[in-house]
């Protein structure tokens, strides 16, 4: 084997932080001219020929996921970067307090703190609903006029105080109501 071409395809791909398939595609497209030789059915590669700006700097592990930050001290926390950071902080503080008291093991702490958060969220919802009902009651006392509602549910008889221009003879039913003072009480609507 040549001392100049000392890396096989897998080694050279790892060195450059790419897959062997990507290395093959680069070789076939002509991007690695002069950096490889073929011996039998195998290809052997040499490190880069010249000094290029990013010759030594390449990324071996190009993962898009962020590493988890566990066991971070209180001064290094980044709760302000999270949408509900105050809730994460509260959960972690409750878990830490329970661990300090050493009353429960890790599984018990995880279960109890989740229940506590659910109860707190339920209380918050109830307070919001109560506050909304109070506001609705305050707003309902003011009456600035309404649209005419043609729905007569709840009204037994709707009459106006207008008199007809020409008196009409009263029938038997109307005379009975007048004689016995059985006129329905009209509910006034404002």
Number of domain units in the chain: 2
pLDDT-derived band at 50 (thresholds 50, 70, 90) equals low
pLDDT-derived band at 188 (thresholds 50, 70, 90) equals low
Say whether pLDDT at 155 is over 70: no
Helix (H) or strand (E) holding 43: strand 42-45
Of 98, 120, 140, which closes a domain?
140
Q: Considering the domain boundaries, does residue 132 fall inside one?
A: yes
Looking at per-residue confidence, does 181 or 172 come out higher?
A: 172
- In this structure, the answer to whether residues 136 and 80 fall within a common structural domain is yes
Q: Considering the domain boundaries, does residue 145 fall inside one?
A: no
Which residues share a beta bridge with 44? Answer: 37
Of 125, 140, 155, which closes a domain?
140
Reported as half-sphere exposure (CB side, CA atoms, 13 A), residue 118 has a value of 6
Q: Considering the domain boundaries, does residue 156 fall inside one?
A: no
Q: Which letter does DSSP use for residue 130 in this model?
A: H
Q: Considering the domain boundaries, does residue 107 fall inside one?
A: yes
Which residues share a beta bridge with 42? Answer: 39
Amino acid 126: pLDDT: 95
User: Once rounded to an integer, what is the mean pLDDT over residues 28-51?
Assistant: 84
Q: Considering the domain boundaries, does residue 101 fall inside one?
A: yes
Say whether pLDDT at 125 is over 90: yes
- In this structure, the answer to whether residues 32 and 79 fall within a common structural domain is no
Q: Which domain holds residue 26?
A: 9-45
Q: Which of 56-60, 62-66, 173-177 has the lowest mean pLDDT?
A: 56-60
Q: Which of 11-25, 36-50, 81-95, 171-185 has the lowest mean pLDDT?
A: 171-185
Whether 185 contacts 177, CB under 8 Å: no
- In this structure, the answer to whether residues 39 and 87 fall within a common structural domain is no
β-pair type (42-45, 36-39): antiparallel
Cut 0.75: pTM above it? no
Q: What is the CA radius of gyration of the chain?
A: 42
pLDDT-derived band at 144 (thresholds 50, 70, 90) equals low
- In this structure, the answer to whether residues 128 and 85 fall within a common structural domain is yes
Amino acid 147: pLDDT: 64
Whether 28 contacts 64, CB under 8 Å: no
| Number of neighbouring beta carbons within 10 Å of residue 108 | 11
pLDDT-derived band at 21 (thresholds 50, 70, 90) equals very high
Say whether pLDDT at 130 is over 90: yes
User: Once rounded to an integer, what is the mean pLDDT over residues 68-78?
Assistant: 76
Q: Considering the domain boundaries, does residue 32 fall inside one?
A: yes
DSSP per position, 44-98: EE---SS--TTSS---S----SPPP--S--GGG--GGGSTTHHHHHHHHHHHHHH
User: Once rounded to an integer, what is the mean pLDDT over residues 68-81?
Assistant: 77
Q: Considering the domain boundaries, does residue 56 fall inside one?
A: no
Burial environment of residue 77 by CB neighbours within 10 A (0 to 12, 13 to 18, 19 or more): middle
Q: Which letter does DSSP use for residue 186 in this model?
A: P
Of 123, 140, 157, which closes a domain?
140
User: Once rounded to an integer, what is the mean pLDDT over residues 109-124?
Assistant: 79
Instruction: Provide, rounded to the nearest whole percent, the portion of the chain with pLDDT above 90.
Output: 17
Nearest-angstrom CA–CA distance, 120 and 123: 5
Q: Considering the domain boundaries, does residue 123 fall inside one?
A: yes
- In this structure, the answer to whether residues 86 and 35 fall within a common structural domain is no
């Amino acid at each position: 084997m040549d001392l100049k071409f000392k890396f096989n395809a897998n080694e050279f791909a790892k060195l450059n932080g790419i897959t062997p398939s990507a290395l093959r595609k680069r070789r076939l497209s002509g991007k690695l001219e002069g950096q490889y030789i073929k011996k039998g059915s195998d290809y052997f590669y040499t490190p880069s020929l010249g000094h290029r700006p990013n010759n030594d700097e390449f990324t071996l592990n190009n993962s898009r996921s962020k590493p988890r930050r566990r066991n971070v001290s209180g001064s290094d926390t980044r709760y302000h970067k999270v949408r509900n950071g105050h809730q994460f902080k509260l959960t972690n503080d409750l878990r830490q307090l329970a661990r300090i008291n050493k009353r429960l093991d890790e599984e018990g702490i995880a279960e109890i703190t989740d229940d506590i958060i659910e109860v707190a969220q339920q209380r918050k919802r109830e307070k919001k609903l109560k506050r909304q009902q109070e506001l609705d009651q305050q707003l309902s006392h003011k009456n600035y006029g309404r649209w005419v509602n043609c729905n007569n549910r709840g009204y037994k008889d709707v009459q106006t105080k207008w008199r007809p221009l020409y008196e009409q003879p009263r029938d038997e039913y109307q005379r009975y109501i007048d004689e016995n003072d059985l006129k329905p009480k009209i509910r006034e609507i404002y």
